[in-house]
């Protein structure tokens, strides 16, 4: 069975991962292990959270699951390293895990590329200073941001307490007519159960942090089951190859 392992910071919305296993018909295994630091959405704390030492600890915890791939399931703890630094972060994680590795920030870029999305709107939970790092990261990945909103939520714990209706309204309120999709970048936010409702309201794809993180982990294994329950990203026949690359990579 394809197994994608996830290093998740602290606790907030990690139950999205076993939920994804169920939605994917238990065709894949998506084990999660936790590392701990502050859950504050502030740059110095996020740089510490995504450090080589902490991610190596997470990789060691995942080893017992014998994953085929490993993903750092944290958007802000990867994009604050900026494009070059985030590449180095993933390379060090892959070396520590001995497996193909990635992060949520790269998952957003690759998912957008796979769906042919060029212009996006960003609906961020973070404070504005942190959200702007995500915008910069997407731009470095060749994605045009036509609108960005930041909710100014300081901690992951607060984000994890958002009601499903609030998540839907966050996405809908921050759509833009020129955007091909809306991106919601925070793995602390439970989104998987509401993706179909958001896409129905928007009439376009939505990419959320836990959704793209699961997709990226499975992309690296070379097998992504299709389902209608996880939005356009999982409905699309993207032709994943045995090396985990999507056509056009």
CA angle at residue 246 from 243 to 249, to 5 degrees? Answer: 100
pLDDT tens for residues 175-223? 999 999 999 999 999 999 999 999 999 999 999 999 999 999 999 999 9
pLDDT tens for residues 115-138? 999 999 999 888 888 899 999 999
3-state class of 203 per DSSP?
Answer: coil
More confident site: 206 or 37: 206
Q: What is the pLDDT of residue 3?
A: 98
The yes-or-no answer to whether 4-107+210-235 and 115-207 have a common fold is yes
CATH of region 115-207: 3.40.50.12500
Q: What is the pLDDT of residue 39?
A: 67
pLDDT tens for residues 41-67? 677 788 888 899 999 999 999 999 999
**Closest of 214, 129, 112, 209 to residue 170, by C-alpha:** 209
For residue 88 the two structure tokens come to 């180095």
Taking 90 as the threshold, does the pLDDT of residue 230 lie above it?
Answer: yes
With beta carbons less than 8 A apart as the criterion, state whether 192 and 20 touch: yes
Q: What is the pLDDT of residue 154?
A: 63
Residue ranges per structural domain of the chain:
4-107+210-235, 115-207
Q: Which fold has domain 4-107+210-235?
A: Rossmann fold (3.40.50)
């Amino acid at each position: 069975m394809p197994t994608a392992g996830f290093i998740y910071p602290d606790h907030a919305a990690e139950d999205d991962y076993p939920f994804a296993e169920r939605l994917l018909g238990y065709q894949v295994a998506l084990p999660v292990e936790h590392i701990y630091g502050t859950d504050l959405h502030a740059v110095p704390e996020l740089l510490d959270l995504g450090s080589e030492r902490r991610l190596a600890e997470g990789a060691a915890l995942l080893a017992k699951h014998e994953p085929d791939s490993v993903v750092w399931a944290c958007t802000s703890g990867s994009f604050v390293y900026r494009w070059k630094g985030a590449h180095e972060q993933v390379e060090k994680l892959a070396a520590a895990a001995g497996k193909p590795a990635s992060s949520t920030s790269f998952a957003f870029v690759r998912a957008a590329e796979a769906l042919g999305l060029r212009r996006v709107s960003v609906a961020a939970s973070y404070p504005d200073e942190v959200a702007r790092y995500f915008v910069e990261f997407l731009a470095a990945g060749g994605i045009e941001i036509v609108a960005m909103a930041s909710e100014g939520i300081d901690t992951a714990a607060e984000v994890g307490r958002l009601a499903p209706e609030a998540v839907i309204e966050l996405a809908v309120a921050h759509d833009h007519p020129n955007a091909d999709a809306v991106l919601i970048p925070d793995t602390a936010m439970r989104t998987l159960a509401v993706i179909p409702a958001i896409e129905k309201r928007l009439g376009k794809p939505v990419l959320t942090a836990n959704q793209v993180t699961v997709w990226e982990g499975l992309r690296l294994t070379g097998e992504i089951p299709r389902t209608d329950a996880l939005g356009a990203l999982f409905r699309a026949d993207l032709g994943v190859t045995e090396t985990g690359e999507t056509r056009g990579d």
